Chains A and B, each alone.
Chain A
Amino acid sequence: MAPKVPPQPTLEQSSTAVEAGHGHAHAAPPKGIMRWLLTTNHKEIGSLYLIFSLIMFFIGGIFALVVRAELFQPGLNLVNPEFFNQMTTMHGLIMVFAAVMPAFTGLANWMIPLQIGAPDMALPRLNNFSFWLLPVAFTLLLSTLFMPGGGPNFGWTFYAPLSTTYAPPSTTFFILALHIAGVSSILGAINIIATILNMRAPGMRMMDMPLFVWTWLITAFLLIAVMPVLAGVITMMLMDINFGTSFFNAAGGGDPVLFQHLFWFFGHPEVYIMILPAFGIVSAIIPAFARKRLFGYASMVYATSAIALLSFLVWGHHMFAVGMPLAGQLFFMYSTMLIAVPTGVKVFNWVTTLFRGSISFEPPMLFALAFVVLFTIGGFSGLMLAIAPADFQYHDTYFVVAHFHYVLVPGAVFSIMAGVYFWLPKWTGHYPHLRLSQWHFWLSVIGVNLTFFPMHFAGLAGMPRRIPDYALQFADFNLVSTVGAFMFGFSQLLFVAVVVLCVRGGKKAPAQAWGEYADDLEWTVPSPAPLHTFETPPTFQRPAH
């Protein structure tokens, strides 16, 4: 198969342009901190997003380790229940809104313009703004931990009335922080849609776009559809708390269950917002290291769209225990089970891509393969959870905790790491340190399974989630989970080491760093990618079939 693009002209043009330093309207960039505060360059903003999300990943991780340490043995040993609830809540909020989502946005910023042959994002100044909202939002959110009455303690799902009438005084700041983070996500999504729809290289049709671009386009539409609903629901909370309305307060004629409907109308698509870009990344990595084209590109696009559409019809499966009528239970059970079909198609496509390939196991591939296996396990438990009668037993237990951590940690987080390993040569011009990367992978994959696999058993045996102390029969599972969590947590320091070492040096990478099957447009620019690329759009050529 021929590479998709005749790289030479583009390459020369862009690199000479940079070297000669002409042909731009760019003024001399400000130095030091101002450069980063004011940058409108998609690569610099992408890096800012990624660094921010890595920091938040560690903060959220520390919260998780506080939780795991408390649960190491029965009894209240380290923290009191108030603080424990704040830790579980903050862990969830930080990981969802400050670690996983910004990490994907960072990858999108870096890679989407490169993958579609655009010089930058469509709205560069908006891009800068939407990033800098994030540190503001999460500094505010973290500061609530030091306020009187403590930070949010009602779980990341903040069900009313626990989060309204019975909430700590800091809840208003929590709402404000979430509003700011929401605005940031929305602006990012608009920017991504505008970029993808309007700035593709001449000749690149929608169905020629790399899957990472496709999945992000669909994700951005999901964000635009549901982030305003989140904004709406927290605005209603704000009004209930501060202005005497009764959206969720039964005493005033409101309905606490309405909160759950609205929250999950946002919340379920949100889950896919955190996994669809992962599908895109894995769909780029597996063909690269199987040395074979991705099987079923078109069906991947259709499956992603189907998952996105179905995600609006399944929110009720989070609420099987609230007392819905039979018809509602059946509707949400069937629609949820249906999601298994497009998801299955994706997994089958990846496996078939591997079949009769020529497979090597570089670090990005290791993470992508672990993603396929472990995400699929999370999918199986998801299917079990979809069965409404059985869900009466699974709901709100550690089985659910195991399920969504399998989907989000070896799912979303591993895919982000796979993406980072995959694109580090493009970003830094160096390959990541092989031995360290392998250590990082194996310790992570062992740690993650030690942490989350026993949770299936604990949940089935009857351990509810979000409890600071537990009955003695759950002790062994929790002990193993805690050991695994510390192992996984500390292994991530290796990840930092790999990234830092890779930025500073290492084996030099050529433009097409991972061979001829990693052949999207980003691999036509030099490694490291110069600050400005594709100032003149490349001419896209479809691969010869």
Chain B
Amino acid sequence: MSRNETESQDVKVRRTVWRSVAALVGMFAFAFALVPLYDVFCRVTGINGKVDTTAQALVHDEVDESRMVTVQFITRNGSGLPWRMDVETRQVRVHPGQTSEVNFTFNNQSNAVSWGRAVPSVSPSTATRHVRKASCFCFEEQRLEAGERIEMPLVFQLARDLPSEVNTVTLVYTLYPVEGKQQSPLQAGVKTIEGDEA
């Protein structure tokens, strides 16, 4: 084999390797890019009941009085937050296009400050992107002083284009502590839990 041929082969191999490495780096980045992409995708399509947690503008077009839809509210407690969460009503009946307000109360039952976050989920998933929220406690983390009790409204609207077969929309809020804003969580009975110096 002549020296020229060898060199050209080395060059070709090197080119293939660099292209492969570029593809690798691209795919690794792609995996991380999938996280926000998935979020966007879920919000747009409503997959997985993942809800937009930013305020949306309510649309003031006509209320569709020919339809009534039941909206159910469920509150749940994740582990590790000494709060009680209540909703003033378990369900409301609304027309698509109508703006409604429902109050939720949060009550820190411990003797220390703590941070919590209510994570929303909607079912059925086809309804997700038709639930518009103008104001919601789920948009941000909440801070409650020891023993503090607050009331926060959820102002929402069902879009008029809510699929016609949907008659019941369920909103579930699960309350979780905000990691890193309280003392580190108790690790399998080894360390203390937040707000319990007593």
Contacts and interface: CB of A to CB of B under 8 A. Distances in A.
Interface of A: 122-123, 186, 189-190, 193-194, 197-199, 224-229, 231-233, 236, 244, 246-247, 250-253, 255, 257-258, 261-262, 265, 322-328, 536-537
B119 A253 contact: yes
Q: How large is the interface on B (under 10, 10 to 19, 20 to 34, 35 or more residues)?
A: 35 or more
Contacts of B48: 255, 257, 322-324
Interface string B16-53: 11001101111110111011001000100111111001
A194 B17 contact: yes
B100 interface: no
B13 A122 contact: yes
Contact of B23 (A225, A262, A322, A324): A225
Contacts of A194: 13, 16-17, 20
Contacts of B34: 229, 232, 258, 261-262, 265
19 contacts: A122-B16, A123-B13, A123-B17, A190-B17, A190-B20, A194-B17, A228-B28, A229-B30, A229-B34, A232-B31, A236-B32, A246-B179, A247-B35, A253-B53, A261-B38, A262-B34, A324-B47, A325-B125, A328-B45
A258 B38 contact: yes
Interface string B106-127: 0000000000010100000110
B9 A199 contact: yes
B174 interface: yes
A229 B68 CA distance: 45
Contact of A258 (B26, B35, B174): B35
Nearest to B38: A258
Given A199-B9, A325-B46, A250 B176 contact: yes
B12 interface: yes
B20 to A, nearest CB: 4
Given A250-B119, A253-B119, A190 B47 contact: no
Nearest to A327: B45
Contact of A198 (B16, B47, B119, B176): B16
B153 interface: no
Given A122-B13, A325-B126, A224 B179 contact: no
A218 B50 CA distance: 36
A327 B46 CA distance: 11
A190 B23 CA distance: 10
Contacts of A197: 12, 16
A538 B180 CA distance: 65
Contacts of B177: 251
B197 to A, nearest CB: 23
A507 to B, nearest CB: 37
Given A122-B16, A228-B24, 16 more contacts: A123-B13, A190-B21, A194-B13, A194-B16, A224-B20, A224-B24, A228-B25, A229-B28, A232-B31, A236-B35, A244-B180, A250-B174, A251-B119, A252-B179, A324-B48, A324-B125
A232 to B, nearest CB: 3
Interface of B: 1, 9, 12-13, 16-17, 20-21, 23-28, 30-32, 34-35, 38, 42, 45-50, 53, 78, 117, 119, 125-126, 174, 176-180
Contact of B28 (A189, A232, A257): A232
Contacts of B125: 323-325
Given A262-B34, A536-B1, A228 B179 contact: no
Contacts of A199: 9, 13
B24 A262 contact: no
B75 to A, nearest CB: 15
A255 B50 contact: yes
Contacts of A229: 27-28, 30-31, 34
Contacts of A247: 35
A255 B119 CA distance: 11
With most chain A CB atoms within 10 A of its CB, the pick from B35, B38, B49 is: B35
Nearest to A118: B9
A265 B33 CA distance: 13
Given A252-B176, A258-B35, A226 B9 contact: no
A324 B179 CA distance: 29
B80 to A, nearest CB: 8
A110 to B, nearest CB: 20
Contact of B24 (A186, A322, A326): A186
Contact of A193 (B20, B119, B178): B20
B163 to A, nearest CB: 11
B9 A198 contact: yes
Contacts of A262: 31, 34
A232 B47 CA distance: 22
A232 B13 CA distance: 27
Contacts of A325: 45-47, 125-126
Contacts of B27: 224-229
Nearest to B123: A323
A325 B20 CA distance: 36
A116 B42 CA distance: 47
Nearest to B178: A252
A24 to B, nearest CB: 13
A534 to B, nearest CB: 11
A81 to B, nearest CB: 19
A199 B11 CA distance: 12
Contacts of A232: 28, 30-32, 34
Closest 6 CB pairs of A and B: A232-B31, A251-B176, A228-B27, A228-B28, A229-B31, A198-B12
B23 A224 contact: yes
A165 to B, nearest CB: 10
A224 B20 CA distance: 7
Contacts of A122: 13, 16-17
B12 A253 contact: no
Contacts of B35: 236, 247, 258
B142 to A, nearest CB: 14
Contacts of A251: 78, 117, 119, 176-177, 179
